[in-house]
């Protein structure tokens, strides 16, 4: 089994590295990889990014957002979290999360921590989740990956995934929020990440009966991964545009009255927009809505399109910045 050495903390590169390993490296031999991301929200393949994250918070705190290949819910990564990936032959038996949870449970047992696989895709300590897992199949190969909250900043996790109350009707898969914990908080003796990684790799070797052989990405591998990163994982089209169609209602009361905006968004672009409210206006709201149709549902695109309007003609004492805040915060 190839032990892919990947020291990158760039989430877009790491998502691309997983897909490249699935389609290329694993064609030679089964693969295993431990890797980490800088602060990042990773959403599932079928999720709506706007429903899963606190957009304002992650922007202010320079937290990345990336969509992964696999399904499931949104998770938070930082350098206190370690991710593991297996890529093996697809036996066609369906989801078998327990198979890949066993080496994690074994490694923790040796470190003095009792853990258990629970439900469909979680691993728990004392009833609290520290690992969420998901899978993806392609071309006769199975990719299974999961998180290992070792010493993550759980306060950031809670705020980054704390979506503001808003009315969104979507067919996107919603995350199930769980009580979470860090592995390090349960260790009877201090263990650093290096020792923890070593324990996991030893357990993987025993569980799968295969030696882990270090594989360093070649110049050709790196070039292909970087191309996939640039063309897919770092793009707005993949991370936001792949969202399921959804309807959104945002409203806020100002001194001059309430503004209520209804949007229909498909493939991340505004298909229809209506503005309601009990405010007085000197201009037609259709001037605004016409400019929004067809745009990406993201702040920069909206700001460029509306920059030429004098908002004082449409809403008393409402600036463009306030309107953008209402639309997309």
Residue 280 is predicted with a pLDDT of: 61
Residue 181 is predicted with a pLDDT of: 95
Which residues are CB-contacts of 49 (< 8 A; sequence separation ≥ 6)? 43, 65, 67, 239, 240, 243
Residue 92 is predicted with a pLDDT of: 77
Question: How far, in Å, CA of 228 to CA of 247, rounded?
Answer: 31
Question: How far, in Å, CA of 150 to CA of 154, rounded?
Answer: 11
- Helical H segments across 77-153, by residue range: 97-110
3 state SS of 322 = helix
Half-sphere exposure of 260 (CA within 13 A, CB side): 7
Question: How far, in Å, CA of 173 to CA of 221, rounded?
Answer: 33
Burial of 304 (0-12, 13-18, 19+ CB in 10 A): exposed
Contact 232, 238 (CB under 8 A): yes
pLDDT tens per residue, the chain (329 residues)?
Answer: 999 999 999 999 999 999 999 999 999 899 999 999 999 999 988 888 877 888 889 999 999 999 999 988 889 999 999 999 999 998 877 667 889 999 999 999 999 999 999 877 899 999 999 999 999 989 899 999 999 999 999 989 888 986 655 544 554 545 545 689 999 999 999 999 999 999 999 999 999 988 999 999 999 999 999 999 999 999 999 998 877 777 887 788 887 777 888 888 888 898 888 887 666 666 778 888 889 999 999 888 999 999 888 877 777 778 888 888 888 86
Provide the pairing of β-strand 75-77 with 2-5: unpaired
Burial of 205 (0-12, 13-18, 19+ CB in 10 A): middle
Determine how many CB atoms are found less than 10 A away from the CB of residue 318: 19
Domains and CATH numbers, the chain: 2-239 (3.30.930.10), 246-328 (3.30.390.50)
Tokens 């998502």 belong to: 15
Question: How far, in Å, CA of 94 to CA of 184, rounded?
Answer: 32
Contact 61, 160 (CB under 8 A): yes
């Amino acid at each position: 089994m190839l032990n892919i050495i990947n020291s990158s903390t760039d989430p877009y590169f790491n998502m691309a590295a997983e897909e490249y390993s699935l389609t290329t490296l694993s064609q030679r031999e089964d693969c295993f990889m431990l890797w980490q991301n800088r602060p990042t929200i990773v959403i599932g393949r079928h999720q709506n990014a706007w429903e899963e994250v606190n957009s304002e918070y992650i922007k202010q705190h320079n937290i990345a957002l990336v969509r992964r290949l696999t399904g499931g819910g949104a998770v938070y990564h930082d350098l206190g979290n370690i991710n593991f990936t297996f890529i093996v032959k697809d036996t066609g038996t369906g989801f078998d999360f327990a198979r890949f949870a066993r080496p994690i449970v074994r490694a923790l047992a040796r470190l003095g921590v009792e853990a258990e696989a629970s439900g469909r895709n979680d691993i728990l300590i004392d009833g609290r989740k520290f690992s969420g897992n998901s899978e993806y199949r392609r071309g006769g190969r199975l990719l299974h990956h999961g998180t290992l909250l070792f010493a993550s900043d759980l306060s950031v996790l809670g705020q980054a995934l704390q979506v503001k109350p808003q009315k969104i009707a979507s067919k996107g898969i919603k995350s199930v929020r769980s009580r979470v914990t860090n592995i390090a908080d349960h260790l009877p003796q201090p263990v650093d990440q290096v020792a923890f990684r070593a324990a996991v790799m030893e357990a993987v070797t025993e569980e799968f009966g295969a030696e882990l052989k270090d594989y360093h990405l070649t110049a050709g591998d790196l070039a292909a991964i970087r191309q996939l990163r640039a063309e897919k994982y770092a793009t707005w089209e993949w991370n936001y545009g792949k969202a399921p169609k959804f309807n959104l209602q945002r409203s806020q009361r100002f001194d001059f009255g309430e503004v209520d905006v209804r949007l229909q968004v498909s493939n991340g672009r505004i298909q229809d927009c209506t503005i309601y409210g009990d405010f007085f206006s000197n201009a037609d709201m259709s001037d605004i809505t016409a400019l929004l149709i067809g745009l990406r549902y993201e702040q920069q695109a909206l700001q460029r399109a509306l920059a030429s309007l004098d908002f004082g003609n449409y809403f008393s004492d409402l600036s463009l910045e306030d309107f953008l805040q209402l639309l997309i915060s």
